[in-house]
Amino acid sequence: MAPGNNGFDVRLPNEQAVLARMRGTQDRIADAITTFAGTMQFVYIHAAWFTVWIAFNEGLFGRSAVWDPYPFGLLTMIVSLEAIFLSTFVMVSQNRQAMREKVRADLDFETNIRSEVWSAHIGHALGVDPAQVEQEVQTLLAQNQAKMSGTEQSSP
Model confidence at 155: pLDDT above 70:
no
Q: Which domain holds residue 86?
A: 15-148
Residue 1 pLDDT more than 60?
no
Give the total number of structural domains in the chain.
Answer: 1
In a domain, 36, yes or no: yes
* pLDDT tens per residue across span 26-85: 888 888 999 999 999 999 999 999 999 999 999 999 999 999 999 999 999 999 999 999
Q: How high is the mean pLDDT of the chain?
A: 87
pTM above 0.85, yes or no: no
**Residue 144 belongs to some domain of the structure:** yes
Residue 3 covered by a domain: no
Is 1 inside any structural domain? no
Whether residue 130 has a cis bond before it, omega within 30° of 0: no
Q: What is the pLDDT of residues 80-129, one digit of tens each?
A: 999 999 999 999 889 888 988 998 899 899 999 999 999 999 999 999 99
115: left (phi over 0), alpha (psi -120 to 50) or beta: alpha
Answer yes or no: is 9 within a domain.
no
Phi, psi values for residue 82, rounded to 5° = -60, -45
Q: Looking at the domain assignment, is residue 6 inside a domain?
A: no
Q: Is residue 50 part of a domain?
A: yes
Provide the total of helices (H) and of strands (E) in the chain, helices listed first.
Answer: 5, 0
CA distances from 68 to 26, 28, 53, 72 (A): 34, 35, 8, 5
